[in-house]
Amino acid sequence: MDLNFQKNFSLRPYNTFGINVQSKQFIGAKTTEELQYIIRQKKDEKILIIGGGSNLLLTKDFEGLTLRIESRGIEIIREDEESVTVKVAAGENWHEFVLWCLENNLGGVENLALIPGSVGAAPIQNIGAYGAELKYVFSSCEAISVSNGEMKTFSKADCQFRYRSSIFKNELKGRYIITSVNLLLNKAPHSINDSYKGLIEKMEGKNKTIQNIANAVIAIRSEKLPNPEKIGNSGSFFKNPVIPVSQFKSLQKQYTNMPYYPDSNGKIKVPAAWMIDVLGLKGFRNGDAGVHENQPLVLVNYGNASGKAIKALAEKIQSKVAEKFGINLTTEVNII
């Protein structure tokens, strides 16, 4: 197989934080066969798998092989009167796939418009926004074992989806490479999910169509979230903490206006953005590492911040939140 392994390769264009670190080797894989070949050939090397590079903070040079998933293809593999199952290659861009669904009048992913990253990365953290999560439409995925290159199919139950998490972020972390994802999408008439607070407001006076939902989500995201092509970022840096009701009640006595959402497992989710805002850190900047001025859950690289500087800022936020609220913020972003 004719593959071009590049040496001492800058990863700057391949991570949305725009961090300039080098990888000892780099290769892009376009097919499953290429992936299997690379894995078997490089089985003794450290491998960093990247898709869109949008959920990643690189803090130092990588002394191994960075493998970028570059497969393409969207295919309808099953269809009946109400729904279709589409098989999407892992290397497809998530938002472009959402646009394809809109063009083909297929519902289910419109609330997830404009989420950066690749389709293959979507199940890893069960991407979610504006009242929807990937798991609502996920059917199954195929993945390659990093240890022996064999293919395995994961059902929805196998993936153990949780809030911004799955088996691929836990027990199987780093052990499989997702190569394609099967999603179950609805034909018209669509069921519309416009229950998220900001979305209801944006949908006022509009017809309940999947295109209008996507337009509303795109408008909200563009108002609030920095465009990674202009200001480096990885979306929400932290997860929203989920705490026991008792802990929430005692916090609420002190912070009567603390926003909260009941979680499906009887606990309470509190917005990390609110806590960071209360701490006065919204818009805080230390050199080129900063807290975004509209959405404090997003850390940003204004130009030449190092991964270490962003990490230090994250740790400062974590310790201030712990000190004031007694809550440990965990990161959503993968720190390498």
If one asks whether residue 297 binds ligand EPU (CB under 6 A), the answer comes out as yes
Tokens describing residue 266: 């009887």
Q: Sign of the C-alpha dihedral, residues 238, 243, 248, 254?
A: negative
Residue with tokens 């607070």: 197
Choose between 291 and 309: whose C-beta lies nearer to ligand EPU.
291
Candidates 151, 149, 145, 126; CA nearest to 239 is 126
Residue nearest ligand EPU, CB atom distance: 235
Q: Which of residues 189-248 bind ligand EPU (CB under 6 A)?
A: 225, 235-236, 239-240
Interface characters, 94-113, with ligand EPU (x: CB under 6 A): --------------------
Choose between 28 and 232: whose C-beta lies nearer to ligand EPU.
232
Candidates 273, 291, 300, 313; binder of ligand EPU (CB under 6 A) is 273
Bridge partners, residue 335, by sequence? 57
Candidates 36, 140, 179, 295; binder of ligand EPU (CB under 6 A) is 295
Residue with tokens 């230390």: 286
Q: In sequence order, which residues have a C-beta less than 8 Å from that of residue 10 and are 6 or more positions away?
A: 20, 21, 22
Tokens describing residue 304: 């030449």
Q: State the catalytic residues.
A: 164, 236, 332
Report in angstroms how near the CB of residue 133 gets to ligand EPU at its nearest.
10
Choose between 26 and 284: whose C-beta lies nearer to ligand EPU.
284
Candidates 14, 138, 274, 284; binder of ligand EPU (CB under 6 A) is 274
Bridge partners, residue 85, by sequence? 78, 184
Choose between 87 and 221: whose C-beta lies nearer to ligand EPU.
221
**H or E stretch including 220?**
helix 210-224
Report in angstroms how near the CB of residue 18 gets to ligand EPU at its nearest.
16
Tokens describing residue 222: 């563009």
If one asks whether residue 134 binds ligand EPU (CB under 6 A), the answer comes out as no
If one asks whether residue 271 binds ligand EPU (CB under 6 A), the answer comes out as yes
If one asks whether residue 162 binds ligand EPU (CB under 6 A), the answer comes out as no
How large is the greatest C-alpha to C-alpha distance in the chain, in angstroms? 65
If one asks whether residue 282 binds ligand EPU (CB under 6 A), the answer comes out as yes
Q: Number of helices and strands (H, E) in the chain?
A: 8, 20
Report in angstroms how near the CB of residue 44 gets to ligand EPU at its nearest.
34
CA pair distance 148, 69, nearest whole angstrom: 18
Half-sphere exposure of 187 (CA within 13 A, CB side): 9
Applying CB under 6 A, which residues contact ligand EPU? 129-130, 225, 235-236, 239-240, 259, 271, 273-274, 277, 282, 295-297, 332
